[in-house]
Structure 1
Amino acid sequence: MSDRIDYPAFESKVMSAEEAAEFINNGDMIGTSGFTGAGYPKAMPGAIAAKAKAAHDRGDEWAVKILTGASTAPENDGVLAEADAVSFRSPFNTDPKMRANINAGKTKYTDIHLSELGMYVQEGFFGHMDVAIVEAVRIREDGKLVPSSAVGNNIEFMDAADRIIIELNDWQSPELEGMHDIYRMQMPGDRTPLEITSPGDRIGDFAIDFDPAKVVAIVRTDGPDRNSPFKPLDDTSKAIAGHLLDFLEGEVSAGRLSYDRLILQNGVGNVPNAVLAGLMDSKFENITAYTEVIQDGMLDLIDAGKMSMASATSFSLSLDAAHRMNEDAARYRQHIILRPQQISNHPEVIRRLAPIGINGMIEADIYGNVNSTHVAGSKMMNGIGGSGDFTRNAYISSFVTPAVAKDGAISAIVPMVSHVDHTEHDVKLVVTEHGYADLRGLAPRDRVQKMIAIADPEYRPLLEEYVEYASKSTAQQTPHDLTRAFGFHTRFLETGTMKK
């Protein structure tokens, strides 16, 4: 038997991905492991895509519905999208090929809060689940599965599915075993409080218990996780990180925060990762994180002794950092816990721990509403992800972004957002390279000048011009001129720039 399979009944289940794909049928609902380019199946998506292509070549319709933890990687979403093998996708996607299919209407897409998808599966909201495909580090002697570098919705998928296919990945370090904290959420009506009062608290097991009779195939793989490398820190990212750190220093001075009591939630991206880099030389010590993903900057903080504990559901590491994790997983598991995403993103725990939430955005308006998902109101970028879970419940919910995009053709601060993901009620802080707008406790009209002050200087006169028109409205709580509210967006669609 393999050194990764210690459960005798599974020895006869080992087969190739092509053989395992015979258990996948047209129209199946499939739940796969994977969250931000970590822990996703490496072999099965390609085999499923090949099956779809062969069916299409025969003139047959063939597609499946795919649920995951969050985004995956080109070897998963990309190959399936290229084969037109996905009719439905949820809850989050970053792959450009899948995005193109979604925006072309070829793949239906449901963008929901990441904390809710597991519950939706438990409740059957998506319909019957046929197959769960889950990457693992090991199958233990007791038949329990040790997940790899992401937990995501593995428990809910394995519980709901008729058939389970396990990918055992030899590339993933076996020393990840012991890093996970597996807890099965009860159904609504039977839930009990989650006993997590600090990011390092454990409430579950190291492995997933499941029905072994469901396992139809075990596929051996040896492929790395593939997250995009973080870009080198540029002046804009450094400036944004500096302004956010200035804000945190101000919170310490006001007595609302202390240098040894900083709990972070970081969204995925170069700017949030730049904030982590900025903390390296800060006065903050014993930093902890209760978040979704472990990024490169968190490993750096752990190595420097600045971060003592990080709780997440997945890694989101560059390839170099992923190799670093694999080589030293036994040490890192003293500082990292990977949980199911129903737990990592649970509103009750987030509200109790009161982290500082740091997330990216597409645009914000002058009153503090934020659009995280739709370009020009209609074109899906990636999805809301877990930003909503944390924004509503974090102690301070901040959004960080460069003030402009597309070489200045797009302003991140607009009169009215073209799509609302996070309302003015939840957004506390917006940060660009020009400063930060602290919106706490302010009436809508009092937020306007703070938001304009952090916009790109070229767009400030245009925003002021809009405010002048809007101020003539008879409704003065949140003044808008609806004939001009989307002027920035319509100008961009007509001319290619929001500038006049």
Structure 2
Amino acid sequence: MSDRIAHAGLRGKVMTADEAAQFINHGDALGISGFTGAGYPKALPTALANRGKELHAKGEEFAVDIYTGASTAPDCDGVMAEADIIRYRMPYQGDPALRKSINAGKAKYQDIHLSHSALYIEQGFLPIDAAIVEVTRITEDGHLIPSSSVGNNVEWMDNADKIIIEVNSWQSEELEGMHDIYRIQHLPNRTPVPINAPGDRIGTPYIDINLDKVVAVVETNAPDRNSPFKPLDETSKAIAGHFLDFLEGEVRAGRLAYDQYIMQSGVGNVPNAVMAGLLDSKFENIKAYTEVIQDGMIDLIDAGKMTVASATSFSLSPEAAERMNNEAARYRKNIILRPQQISNHPEVVRRVGLIATNGMIEADIYGNVNSTHINGSRMMNGIGGSGDFTRNAFVSSFISPSLAKDGAISTIVPFASHIDHTEHDAMVIITERGFADLRGLAPRDRVAKMISVAHPEYQPLLEEYYERALKTAPGMSTPHDLRTAFDFHVNMIEKGSMKG
């Protein structure tokens, strides 16, 4: 038995994943750990999937509701979706098998702002029966040392009737001390979150739980879903360059200083390109108050450019994950992992004054942004934390290449086919063509700027649409020609290209 389970009582509850899976019943609502492929349970999902297959083969029902922090991995969401045991899922996902199930109408999916998801359980909007949570160690006192993410783990375990703990010896024990666990008070007795700067610590380095709820402890030794990032291409570098140009403009305007940049960044290759650009920039003493720490932030810390990175999770390449596992003690002074209710808390986001940068599927000529749905109907991943940060940021920005699918798709469209972030929230839109600064502009004044960041192949089509809208719209505040507003999307569905 692993020496990572120091509590005598919990050592007596060690069992296999298959044995632990017997505590889960058909129809149960499960709160599981995991956020952007980090810190998710490695054994129970497969055990539950196998149990589901066995029961289905006998003609018996077995399906569960799954709540997480955010996305997990193929060996978590994926195996359960393939076994057809996910009945309902929230608040965010990114697995191809689960996405297929959602878009086929099998699994029901509620896409929720990540800072709101724990509230659904705490206030009884949704039930929870069991929590399945990965940790890196259990102390002699029964305190849980989280692994590579915190997510909603605290709230799941506080509210579940049963708790199953996975102790993963692959995760570095030196992560201990990196976490900052703080519980938000229940309504109506809630008080302000006492964070004034990204580096503030306000809680404990462990999670304390009701040990009587623990029904099983399972030992594992498996890595997170550490996916490699693609090499930086010219488009990503161009987007990063325009973002840095925007930051330089903010410095010249006196709204930002080279040593006062507080960042929030979404996940992916383009945000990583932005951080690579910051390595050679004039910006120093960079701080992050964000939800995910990825490779680019680790590189900025190593270069001495970033002093604090506060988040709820890692999302690292295999190389960066190995570096973190080997040197976690060195990074503890720079990195804080918090519950996602805190990392994404609108109150704190507004107070610290960060610049938010997130990806998008498309934006329309007035600055409405679609982060979630292809052609208005097909779910991609979800809104994630982009809404938490966008509406409350000092400056909100969205970044994307101007084209997708080898030019068949324009990311700048006449009318967004689904709107997650309205024109009231999106301030800056950036593509490889440049940046559209929409601050202070009435809707019609935004159009030329938005068309300027579209690809030249689509600019004439967008201009034609706008001219038509000016002639046919029943009002001139935000002119639209509703007869042709979605022609780009209809062309894509029917002809395979938005150009028709």
Q: TM-score range with shorter-chain normalisation?
A: over 0.9
Distance 1:366 1:45 in 2: 43
Verify: 1:28 aligned to 2:28, yes or no. yes
Q: CA RMSD for the aligned pairs?
A: 0.7
Calculate the TM-score normalised by the size of structure 2.
Answer: 0.99
Report the counterpart of residue 55 of structure 1 in structure 2: 55
Alignment-derived partner of residue 460 in structure 1: 459
Would the aligned equivalents of 2:151 and 2:339 in 1 still touch at CA under 8 Å?
Answer: yes
Q: Deviations over 1:252-271 (max 9, x none)?
A: 00000000000000001111
CA contact (8 A) 1:199 1:288 kept: yes
C-alpha distance in 1, partners of 2:60/2:44? 21
Deviations 1:187-235 (A, max 9, x none): 1211111111110000100001110000111000000011321110000
Q: Distance in 2 between matches of 1:61 and 1:300?
A: 48
Aligned partner of 2:157 in structure 1 is: 158
Q: What is the deviation of 1:2? A: 3.3
**CA deviation after TM superposition for structure 1 residue 493, in Å:** 0.8
- Matched residue, 2:366: 367
Deviation at 1:5, TM superposition (A): 1.3
2:184–2:193 CA contact under 8 A, matched in 1: no
Contact 1:134 1:165 in 2 (8 A): yes
Q: How many angstroms apart in 1 are the aligned matches of 2:49 and 2:125?
A: 26
Match of 1:225 in 2: 224
Structure 2 counterpart SS, 1:305 = coil
Give the whole-Å Cα distance in 1 for the aligned partners of 2:322 and 2:82. Answer: 29
Provide, for residues 393-435 of structure 1, a one-character-per-residue CA deviation record: whole Å limited to 9, x for no partner.
0111000000010000000000000000000000000000000
Give CA-to-partner distance per residue, 1:145-181, whole Å, 9 cap, x none. 1110000000100011111000000000000000000
Structure 1 residue ranges without an equivalent (≥5): none
- SS of residue in 2 equivalent to 1:407: helix
- Which residue in the other structure is 1:244 paired with? 243
Structure 1 vs Structure 2: percent identity of aligned residues? 68
| Residue matched to 1:144 | 143
1:59 Cα shift?
1.1
Tell me the distance in 2 between the aligned counterparts of 1:335 and 1:474.
55
Instruction: Report if aligned partners of 2:2, 2:219 keep a CA contact under 8 Å in 1.
Output: no
Superposed, 1:44-443 pairs within 5 Å as 44-127=44-127, 129-443=128-442
Any conservation in 2 of the 1:36–1:227 contact (CA below 8 Å)? no
SS at match of 1:23: coil
What TM-score do the two structures reach when normalised by structure 1? 0.99
Structure-1 separation of matches of 2:321 and 2:462:
44
Alignment partner of 1:220: what SS? strand
Q: Deviations over 1:109-142 (max 9, x none)?
A: 0001000011111011112x11100000111122
Q: Deviations over 1:52-91 (max 9, x none)?
A: 0001111112111000000000110000011001000000
Runs of 4+ more than 4 Å apart: none
Distance 1:55 1:235 in 2: 51
**What CA distance in whole angstroms lies between the structure 2 residues aligned with 1:119 and 1:25?**
24
Which residue is equivalent to 2:499?
A: 499
Q: Which amino acid aligns with 1:325?
A: M
Per-residue CA deviation, residues 229-288 of structure 1 (Å, 9 max, x unaligned), is 111000000000000000000000000000000000000111111101110000000000
**In the alignment, residue 453 of structure 2 is paired with which amino acid?**
I
Q: Which runs of 5+ in 2 are unaligned?
A: none
Deviations 1:317-356 (A, max 9, x none): 1111111100000011110000000000000000000111
